[in-house]
Amino acid sequence: MDILTDLYGSFFDINNWKTVLGSGSDWLVIFSLVMIECILSVDNAVVLATQTQVLKDQKEREKSLFYGLWGAYLFRFIVIGIGTYLINLWEIKVIGALYLAYLVFRFFDKQKLGRQTRKLVKKEGKISIFWRVVIQIEFMDIVFSVDSVLASLAISSNPVIVLIGGLIGILAMRGIAEVIMGMMQKIPELETMAYVLIAIIALKLLLSIPMIDIEIPSGIFALIVILAFIITIGIHYLRKPVKK
């Protein structure tokens, strides 16, 4: 019980909340944390938007992101409390990298075989396809939140500030995911591009573990994403007249 009080007691300190909410300097820190969350979550948004494509209905895609949002909020609350121990959880990055590599292999393997469907989640199973997508979203939230929480705790040691910044940042990131999701419906080539990016993300995660310790700067990855979008959209419109 004492351990729980040490880890999460500050979240329930009303005076701490009053101080943070009434401080202009603390809100500047929160704003910077939101920006960091969005920058570090560009890769997360790409993965989330790709995973939802298995659902045929647009409402179900948005609903899966909504449920994933609340799951991400709950997990972020738990993780911030034990943030000082996250540095030891490099194994999560390895598991996440292997999982993403599996998704990429499965996608291109199905393309090679010329199957009509390229979905990552099978229709068979005890759990419905919708909830399996939600579970996948939650798993990737866990993987990608490690960097965000560690970066946030390095800026501010006040868990309330980190929590507010994280919650706002997650909401903004979900908006980015929905934009990407809508674009993928209009430009099918973006799906293939997304899996190429997921392969790069898997490599990025694997290189960041302590034994290798090679960090690809978020700014460089964001530039890669922007260039990939521009090139893919260009290819789409160049191929359009040919299709007609």
**DSSP per-residue string spanning 178-241:** HHHHHHHHH-THHHHHHHHHHHHHHHHHHHTSTTT-----HHHHHHHHHHHHHHHHHHHHHHHH
Whether 159 shows a pLDDT value over 70: the answer reads yes
Residue 40 or 170, more confident: 170
Whether 125 shows a pLDDT value over 60: the answer reads no
Estimate to the nearest angstrom the gap between the alpha carbon of 182 and the chain centroid. Answer: 17
Whether 107 shows a pLDDT value over 50: the answer reads yes
pLDDT above 70 covers what percent of the chain? 80
Confidence (pTM) = 0.62
pLDDT (0 to 100) of residue 242:
52
Residues whose CB is less than 8 angstroms from the CB of residue 204 and which lie 6 or more positions away in sequence, other chains included: 43, 216, 221
The mean per-residue pLDDT over the stretch 133-147 comes to 78
pLDDT (0 to 100) of residue 231:
92
pLDDT (0 to 100) of residue 51:
78
The mean per-residue pLDDT over the stretch 40-64 comes to 78
Whether 212 shows a pLDDT value over 80: the answer reads yes
Whether 121 shows a pLDDT value over 60: the answer reads no
pLDDT (0 to 100) of residue 119:
47
- Euclidean distance between CA atoms 184 and 192, whole angstroms: 10
Whether 224 shows a pLDDT value over 70: the answer reads yes
- Euclidean distance between CA atoms 203 and 185, whole angstroms: 27
Q: Is the dihedral of CA 94, 99, 104, 110 positive or negative?
A: positive
